[in-house]
Structure 1
Amino acid sequence: MVEQDRTRRRRGVRSGAAENRSLPSYGAGEIDVPFVVRGTGEVIARDTYWEEHSHPTHELLWNRRGASTATTGARVWTITPSVGLWIPAGTPHSGWTPAGTWHHAAQFSVRAVPALADTTVAVEVTPLLRLLLDRLATEELDGAARARTEAVVLDLLAPSPVELLLRVPDAALLEPIVAAVREDPADGTTLAAWAARLGVSPRTVTRAFRAQTGLGFSQWVAAARVQHAIGLLAVGEEIEEVAERVGYRSASAFGAVFRRVTGTSPGRFRLQ
């Protein structure tokens, strides 16, 4: 419950304003499902927090509209219409889905489908893959047609060249920084100011970030800001407004950082 409240605070959600969903936890293959691929879709009516759970099946998460996040351990993944997330069977994960998101999940039998990877991995969701997953979820197919469609889906599954991933450090030293930036991405406290506030050297802060995330302080802040920006862009916020809300003085500066982190521009992302 404490972690749930922290998640709500980071998202700027008042206690009780979000819907809570609780799902069971299963080991990989613990339930023998009678399908190869089964998909579901839902337009999320309220901000929704999915408590930690795991599936007996592999899972592919993607959105037709909007951006959501899934958390596995210390990694927070952003899910969009073009970048989905493959979660191997039995992997504990939680999630956050804002109101208005058109959320999709496809389950894959561990008996019939080998894991795409040994660990959670971003997946490129192409228009053809979306079309085929929709067909499996919404059309009444005979056995042969379903098998053909499933086979093409499996052929199309591939890791994405872009990972919308934020590694969240859990070192006690960095906790105040992480909390401040995730609650307010526009927080402009410098590395030197944080170091002075924490009573350590800037090098100590930088080493801690690199050890836990592989990124320096500034790189991690940029990644956290971009993750927040993706959610705002996905619901139609103007690029200039988003830039200001995540701490950039100009749309061009924001655009440069966004391209460096995601591989695409804010404008192209909105079109996708």
Structure 2
Amino acid sequence: MTQDGTIDLTRFEMVRGQTFQHHVHDDHQLAWASSGVVMVDTGDRCWVLPPHLALWIPGGLRHATGALRASVLQGVYLEPSTCPLAWTGPTVLAVSPLARHLIAYLAGELPSAVRLHAEAVLLEVLRPAGGAVFELPLPADPRAREVAGLLLDDPADQRGLAELAHEVGSSSRTLLRLFLAETGMTFNEWRVHARLQASLAHLAEGTPVGRVAERVGYATPSAFVAAFRRVTGATPAAYFAGLRDEAAAGR
């Protein structure tokens, strides 16, 4: 634990593809990439986290964290017995400019009273992200999970269900049944959500919509924007404008 404080902070510089395999720790954790993009997998769900989002991981929850590109992962660890925050499940949080600065501030050497005050302010400004957040359920069956992994690794993969089923030694009918039973989504719905989740990282970095559409498997920018609006209720530009307004309100 950080000297004279109640929050422990650890900084990990990660290369693309680097992963901390599934593990468990007693402390609550706030997983946040101050630069780059990380993915957190809790076994049955996963989240893509660009720098404007962080994930609250309750103590005792098994999870893995991987870097989708070169990233700096900031681990913020809190002792459950003294933590006033009450989220019992994984919770996506909006990282306001104030929260970002406080995390950087707490990484330095501070007098005990100053540190405790800064920690208290950080806990006060942490808020769940509003609007649509792409929480992607993951199938448990090994065949369906392998297909999910293929599409998460390459959202632009254009193979149809029959080709993917052949790749994993299954049938289209079996995969359709597994995705619906284990994720609550049809295969096509799941694929759309996976593509839109992948788009968040590119959009957060300012990549033009046309290029994002191509990278996540859409033939045209208009098809991508239509899918994004259908799921979130907003265009990509309006979605990120809302996040910026939310972050500004959290200063």
TM-score range for the pair, normalised by the shorter chain length: 0.7 to 0.9
Letter in 1 for 2:59: A
Q: 1:90 to 1:194 in 2, by over 3 A?
A: closer
Q: 1:93 to 1:179 in 2, by over 3 A?
A: closer
User: Is structure 2 residue 4 aligned with structure 1 residue 40?
Assistant: no
Q: 1:185 to 1:222 in 2, by over 3 A?
A: same
Structure 2 alignment gaps of length 5 or more: 245-251
- For 1:85 and 1:91, locate their aligned partners in 2 and report how far apart those are by CA, in whole Å: 12
- For 2:152 and 2:91, locate their aligned partners in 1 and report how far apart those are by CA, in whole Å: 23
- For 1:40 and 1:91, locate their aligned partners in 2 and report how far apart those are by CA, in whole Å: 19
Higher relative contact order structure (alpha carbons within 8 Å, sequence separation ≥ 6): 2
Check the 8 A contact 1:87/1:119 in 2, yes or no.
Answer: yes
Letter in 2 for 1:121: T
User: Is structure 2 residue 196 aligned with structure 1 residue 226?
Assistant: yes
- For 1:46 and 1:241, locate their aligned partners in 2 and report how far apart those are by CA, in whole Å: 20
Q: TM-score, normalised by structure 1?
A: 0.73
Q: 1:133 to 1:240 in 2, by over 3 A?
A: same
- For 2:54 and 2:235, locate their aligned partners in 1 and report how far apart those are by CA, in whole Å: 18
- For 2:145 and 2:68, locate their aligned partners in 1 and report how far apart those are by CA, in whole Å: 25
The one-character-per-residue Cα deviations of 1:136-186 (angstroms, maximum 9, x if unpaired) are 223x43333222222222222232224332111122563464244234322
CA RMSD across the alignment: 3.3
Give the number of aligned pairs: 239
- For 2:186 and 2:14, locate their aligned partners in 1 and report how far apart those are by CA, in whole Å: 36
Check the 8 A contact 2:32/2:55 in 1, yes or no.
Answer: yes
Q: 1:200 to 1:37 in 2, by over 3 A?
A: closer
Check the 8 A contact 1:67/1:79 in 2, yes or no.
Answer: yes
- Any runs of at least 4 consecutive aligned residues in structure 1 with deviations exceeding 6 A, and if so which? 31-34, 192-197
Check the 8 A contact 2:13/2:71 in 1, yes or no.
Answer: yes
SS, match of residue 169 in structure 1: coil
Structure 1 alignment gaps of length 5 or more: 1-30
Q: Percent identity?
A: 33
Which residue number in structure 2 is paired with residue 155 of structure 1? 124
Residues 79-228 of structure 1: pairs in structure 2 closer than 5 A: 79-138=49-108, 140-161=109-130, 162-172=132-142, 174-175=144-145, 177-190=147-160, 199=171, 201=173, 205-228=175-198
Check the 8 A contact 1:88/1:115 in 2, yes or no.
Answer: no
Check the 8 A contact 1:88/1:119 in 2, yes or no.
Answer: yes
Query: Which of 239, 245, 255 does residue 225 from structure 2 map onto?
Result: 255
Which residue number in structure 1 is paired with residue 25 of structure 2? 55
SS, match of residue 70 in structure 1: strand
Letter in 1 for 2:118: T
Q: What displacement does 1:265 show?
A: 4.2
Letter in 2 for 1:108: L
- For 2:133 and 2:97, locate their aligned partners in 1 and report how far apart those are by CA, in whole Å: 18
Q: What displacement does 1:199 show?
A: 4.7
SS, match of residue 40 in structure 1: strand
Which residue number in structure 1 is paired with residue 247 of structure 2? none
The one-character-per-residue Cα deviations of 1:104-129 (angstroms, maximum 9, x if unpaired) are 22111223104532222211212222
SS, match of residue 35 in structure 1: coil
The one-character-per-residue Cα deviations of 1:23-80 (angstroms, maximum 9, x if unpaired) are xxxxxxxx99963123233543554211222223111011222211011112111112
